[in-house]
Amino acid sequence: MAPVAFTDGGHTLATGQADGTVLLRDTATGRTRSSFTALRGGPAGSAGGPVASGGVQLVFSADGRTAAALDQQAGTLRLWDVPGRRLLGVSGGYGDGAAAVALSGDGRLLAVGDTAGTVRLRDTATGHPHAAAAVTPAPDPGAAVSAVAISADRRTLAVARDDRTVRVVDTASGRRTVLPGRTDLVVSAAFSPDGRTLATGAENGTVRLWDVAPPRPRLTLGDPDSTCAPVFSPDGRLLATGGADGTVRLWDTATGRLRATPARLGHAVTALAFVRGGHTLAIGGEEDDVRLWDVAAGRPSAAYTAPAGWAVAFSPDGRLLATADEPTHDTNTTQPLRLWDTRGGFTRIAEHHVVLDSPVVFSADGRTLAAATSKNTEQLWDTATGRTRATLTVPPGTSPVVFGPDGRTLATGGEDGTVRLWDTATGRQRSTLTHTSSVVSVSFGPDGRLPAAGGTDGTVRLWDLATGQAQRTLATPRSSPQVFLSPDGRTLATDSEDDGTVRLWPVTPGDPDAAVTRICHALHRGLTAHEWAQYLPGRPARRGCAS
């Protein structure tokens, strides 16, 4: 099986291929989001935190937007913009002693530890060394770094070395604190979301929880053969560990008690991630099986086996599952896409040949499946009969692909800065909407009349389909925003790469004064000068809240 790893946020599954290609898939839908060649030659390695194999380490930021690929033999490191599949930079000089790599949750800070005991910090946005560029823990600088982790706020660094010590470093001042007592050789580490707890995984499988400030051991969890990096739930209350014997354990981080044993795979656990807001634990095994555990209910929610390099999408009602073989990333080569009925087990009901480096999507009613059969062709199938409904001729670089709410319209976004609307019954193009940059996301309102699209320049546009004219243009504070229209169509949500926030926008302009009043009631404060300039340009700022 191709080794896999989930990003810390659990939204993306990474699969390393033998040719150095990395596939990234949405863990909620199984759709292939993107792919890129992390290194030239050599495998991109195993799962559980950083992917490591054959002198290569691959690690992702928690938001899934940045990847770092370290070639330990060549001493080079490549940084990638994951959604854009864009190489951000290549740096060398790490020699053959680079031993551990970590990214902060937002991907802005990179840490590389080496066999000399030094950890180097680098700002990924500028490529320049961080203010505390070199951290060489005393007293023995020759002890190799065995694991490194960065807290979510980038203020704290954990450095484990093969002298069986773990140090916590303040990245601003460089001040170091040694965790009390000698530990077993630590090979993995992870901070809780609030940065107050550090989990360390030892070579002998022991998992320990530490209070960061003041530093002291809190709990030792009895997992004697843990093979995966420990994974915290989003609220930090649970820790998941996976063993070589295939056992997955859920621990209460406050008491250290075993809360549940979600799976016994019978073979090594290769990846763990909390997905869907922490409600579900995704479990990956070395024999290509994936299981989903309902955390709240304490019971399995799904289990399936797929070929190596699988790509998968569920229909909205969960009754249909699409699985696929390992993609080749050759747009002229197709792979089998299989459709399964999940009720009462998995029964194969259809098979199609598609290009897998593209979205595989179901319509809202689950009756139509869309996938690319070549770089210029999007095929629509009837999921009940397996027959072709329509064939669309699309420009290269088409992604995303989204159905309208009634299933009669399909929207495709393109690198050419357009959103094309298609009739799903005939395959004919109905209209073309023009954006200001390459389109990366599309969403429909409940009546399908007001589509929204996000572009690589950070602009979001909404169109009135009755006139074909842009109704509104929003400037978001990040590039390539993902857009989501609410079920009632009155609110648009955009996510933010820069500050990790989701912003809500009224779809119709409304009364600015009334909006300010609502904000005052919600926040118990008035808008700042910066907020006035950003959201209400040209209007005089009002101090405080009106009584």
Model pLDDT for residues 239-254, shown as the tens digit of each residue: 888 777 778 888 887 7
Same domain, 473 and 519: no
d(CA 248, CA 240): 7
The more confidently predicted of residues 371 and 421 is 421
Q: Which residue has the tokens 């930090």?
A: 236
Q: Which residue has the tokens 């024999």?
A: 287
CATH number for position 413? 2.130.10.10
Asked if residue 523 belongs to a domain, the reply is: yes
Give the Cβ contact number of residue 472 at 10 Å.
17
DSSP at 183 = -
d(CA 43, CA 454): 34
Same domain, 394 and 543: no
Q: What is the mean pLDDT of residues 327-337?
A: 61
Q: Identify the weakest region by mean pLDDT among 28-42, 183-197, 276-290.
A: 28-42
CATH number for position 71? 2.40.10.480
Asked if residue 386 belongs to a domain, the reply is: yes
The more confidently predicted of residues 326 and 451 is 451
d(CA 542, CA 547): 12
Q: What confidence score (pLDDT) does residue 320 get?
A: 73
Asked if residue 341 belongs to a domain, the reply is: yes
The more confidently predicted of residues 422 and 30 is 422
- Nearest by Cα to 324 from 342, 343, 349, 351: 351
Q: Is the peptide bond before 50 cis (omega within 30 degrees of 0)?
A: no
Q: Cα angle at 357 between 351 and 359, to 5 degrees?
A: 70
With cut-offs at 50, 70 and 90, classify the pLDDT of residue 452: very high
Q: Identify the weakest region by mean pLDDT among 36-45, 75-84, 268-277.
A: 36-45
Same domain, 316 and 329: yes
Asked if residue 495 belongs to a domain, the reply is: yes
How would you classify the pairing of strands 176-178 and 165-170?
A: antiparallel
Mean confidence (pLDDT) of the chain: 74
The more confidently predicted of residues 246 and 166 is 166
**Cβ pair 251, 260 in contact under 8 A:** no
Q: What confidence score (pLDDT) does residue 18 get?
A: 43
Same domain, 376 and 496: yes
pLDDT digits (tens, 9 = 90+) for 343-402: 554 556 567 766 655 677 888 888 898 888 777 788 898 888 888 889 888 887 777 788
With cut-offs at 50, 70 and 90, classify the pLDDT of residue 54: very low
Say whether pLDDT at 148 is over 70.
Answer: yes
With cut-offs at 50, 70 and 90, classify the pLDDT of residue 296: confident
Asked if residue 23 belongs to a domain, the reply is: yes
- Nearest-Å Rg of the Cα atoms of the chain is 24
Show the domain range for 60: 1-92
Same domain, 413 and 534: no
What is the model's pTM?
0.47
Same domain, 477 and 523: no
Q: What confidence score (pLDDT) does residue 137 get?
A: 52
- Nearest by Cα to 378 from 387, 389, 386: 389
Same domain, 339 and 467: yes
The contacts of residue 252 (CB under 8 Å, 6+ apart) are 237, 238, 258, 259
Residue 66: half-sphere exposure toward Cβ, Cα within 13 Å: 22
Phi, psi of 483 (to 5 degrees): -120, 145
The more confidently predicted of residues 350 and 415 is 415
Asked if residue 457 belongs to a domain, the reply is: yes
Same domain, 493 and 367: yes
Q: What confidence score (pLDDT) does residue 524 get?
A: 76
Asked if residue 259 belongs to a domain, the reply is: no
Same domain, 337 and 352: yes
Q: What confidence score (pLDDT) does residue 428 get?
A: 92
Instruction: Report the number of distinct structural domains present in the chain.
Output: 3
Same domain, 474 and 546: no
Same domain, 487 and 544: no
Q: What confidence score (pLDDT) does residue 20 get?
A: 52
pLDDT digits (tens, 9 = 90+) for 491-533: 787 865 554 455 767 776 556 776 777 777 767 788 888 777 7
pLDDT digits (tens, 9 = 90+) for 462-491: 998 888 888 888 887 777 777 888 767 777
d(CA 489, CA 267): 47
What tokens appear for 471 in the block? 């109704």
Phi, psi of 361 (to 5 degrees): -130, 150
Same domain, 391 and 525: no
Asked if residue 277 belongs to a domain, the reply is: no
Q: In which order are the strands placed within the sheet that holds 409-414?
A: 398-403, 409-414, 418-423, 429-434
Q: What confidence score (pLDDT) does residue 485 get?
A: 81
Say whether pLDDT at 406 is over 60.
Answer: yes
Largest Cα–Cα distance in the chain?
A: 73
**Last-in-domain residue among 65, 92, 119:** 92
Say whether pLDDT at 22 is over 70.
Answer: no
